[in-house]
Amino acid sequence: MPKKNQEGFTLIEIIILIILAGILLPAIVVPFMAGIKGSSEPEMATKAMYLAQQKIEEFLKYAYDQPALAPVALTPYTPTDLPDYRWQWSIALVDSNFNLVGVDLGYKRILVRVQDPERRTYEIWAVVTNFP
């Protein structure tokens, strides 16, 4: 009696396939998921820098001698217009090398910090002068 050419997989082959898939699938999925999670970081950084730049522009609209640019220590974090983003700022008297000084030499340094939802901090610095 001739043997028929049977096609298909045996139970052993299917079990081996399932075991290999169980080993290899996590090795593929874990880095993929980490990449997906990290893909939001550039968007959060862009939003944080936008908020910091917005605050700097708000301060830069004032002349050097306006009360809005009076020296102020680093403020506590306050909420922004975007949920989960927070900012703080300080205005300090500095010299021409941007070192903190206690007297007015014609330079004020503005520092704005913004925290994103994952608590990464972004900073923008600006200097306002009293010179023409």
Q: Give tens-digit pLDDT for 39-96.
A: 778 889 999 999 999 999 999 999 999 999 999 999 999 998 888 999 999 999 999 9
**pLDDT value at 127 more than 70:** yes
* Percent of the chain with pLDDT strictly greater than 70: 95
Total count of residues recorded for the chain: 132
In the chain, domain spans: 43-129
* pTM over 0.85, yes/no: no
Measuring CA to CA, how many Å separate 85 from each of 39, 76, 120? 18, 13, 10
Question: How many CB atoms neighbour CB 89 within 10 A?
Answer: 20
